[in-house]
Amino acid sequence: MSQVEQVHASAHWSAPPQGSAVGVVARATSLASAIPLSEKIIEIAFTYRKRILAGLLLVYLLGFNAQWRPTPDSALYLTIGRNLFEGNGFTYHGEVNRLSYPGTPLLVAASFRLFRSESLTPLLIEMFLGGVIALALVYRLFLLHDGQKMAVWMTIGVGLCALFHRYCYELLSDMPFFIGAIGFFAGWEGVFGSRITNSAPATQRRVHWYDWALLVAGLLIAIVMRPQMWALLFATVVMLGVEFKRRAGRKPLILLAAIIVIGAIVWTINRRHHGAGFFGRYEDAIIWNITQNSSQFAHRVFLEYIPRLFDGVLSQTLFGCRFGIGLDALVGAAIIAAAVMFLKAEPIWRLWVGLLFLTTIVATEPIDRYFLAALPMLVYAWWKAVVWLHERLPKAWAGYAFLLILGIGGGTNIARTLIFTTEQRRVPFLNSYMQGHFASIYAVAELVSQQVPPDGYVLAPPRSPRILTYLSRRNVLEPTTEHLSNERSRPAFVLQPMNEPARDRLVAMGGHLGKEVGPSVPGKDGAWILNQVDWGS
pLDDT given for residue 28 in this prediction: 40
Q: How many domains does the chain have?
A: 3
Q: Report yes or no on 11 lying in a domain.
A: yes
Q: Does 454 lie in the same domain as 413?
A: no
Q: Name the DSSP class of 250.
A: S
**Judging by beta carbons within 10 Å of its beta carbon (0-12, 13-18, 19+), is residue 183 exposed, middle or buried?**
buried
Q: Report yes or no on 432 lying in a domain.
A: no
pLDDT given for residue 447 in this prediction: 97
Q: Does 65 lie in the same domain as 22?
A: no
pLDDT given for residue 71 in this prediction: 96
pLDDT given for residue 273 in this prediction: 47
Region of 456 (left: φ > 0; alpha: ψ -120 to 50; beta: rest) is beta
Q: Name the DSSP class of 528.
A: B
Largest Cα–Cα separation, the chain: 105
Of the three residues 423, 448, 469, the one that is the final residue of a domain is 423
Q: What whole-number distance in Å separates Cα of residue 513 and Cα of residue 528?
A: 14
Q: Report yes or no on 520 lying in a domain.
A: yes
**Judging by beta carbons within 10 Å of its beta carbon (0-12, 13-18, 19+), is residue 21 exposed, middle or buried?**
exposed
pLDDT given for residue 510 in this prediction: 82
pLDDT given for residue 346 in this prediction: 86
Which residues sit opposite 495 in a β-bridge?
A: 530
Range of the domain at 446: 437-535
Which residues sit opposite 195 in a β-bridge?
A: 203
- pLDDT beneath 70: ranges in the chain: 1-34, 194-205, 247-248, 269-278, 537
Q: What is the DSSP secondary-structure string of 101-113?
A: -SHHHHHHHHHHH
Of the three residues 423, 452, 474, the one that is the final residue of a domain is 423
Which residues sit opposite 494 in a β-bridge?
A: 459, 531
Supply the pTM of this predicted model.
0.90
CB atoms within 10 A of CB 304: 12
Reported as a single tens digit per residue, the pLDDT across 1-47 is: 455 444 444 444 444 454 455 444 444 444 445 688 999 999 999 99
Whether residue 428 is preceded by a cis peptide bond, meaning omega within 30 degrees of 0, is: yes
Q: Report yes or no on 268 lying in a domain.
A: yes
How many residues make up the chain in this entry?
537
Q: Does 243 lie in the same domain as 164?
A: yes
Q: Does 232 lie in the same domain as 324?
A: yes
Nearest to residue 72, comparing CAs of 494, 492, 488, 482?
Answer: 482
Of the three residues 390, 423, 456, the one that is the final residue of a domain is 423
pLDDT given for residue 11 in this prediction: 41
Region of 518 (left: φ > 0; alpha: ψ -120 to 50; beta: rest) is left
Q: Report yes or no on 428 lying in a domain.
A: no
Q: Does 59 lie in the same domain as 25?
A: no
Q: Does 467 lie in the same domain as 381?
A: no
Q: Does 442 lie in the same domain as 372?
A: no
Q: What is the DSSP secondary-structure string of 414-466?
A: HHHHHHHHHHHH-SSGGGTGGGGTTTTHHHHHHHHHHHS-TT-EEE--TT-HH
Q: Does 169 lie in the same domain as 242?
A: yes
Q: Name the DSSP class of 167.
A: T
Q: Does 370 lie in the same domain as 473?
A: no
**Judging by beta carbons within 10 Å of its beta carbon (0-12, 13-18, 19+), is residue 332 exposed, middle or buried?**
buried
Q: Report yes or no on 429 lying in a domain.
A: no
Nearest to residue 513, comparing CAs of 498, 529, 534?
Answer: 534
pLDDT given for residue 498 in this prediction: 80
Q: Report yes or no on 45 lying in a domain.
A: no
Q: Does 504 lie in the same domain as 365?
A: no
The end-to-end CA distance of the chain, in Å, is 85
Q: Does 502 lie in the same domain as 398?
A: no
pLDDT given for residue 5 in this prediction: 47
Q: Does 419 lie in the same domain as 442?
A: no
Q: Report yes or no on 42 lying in a domain.
A: no
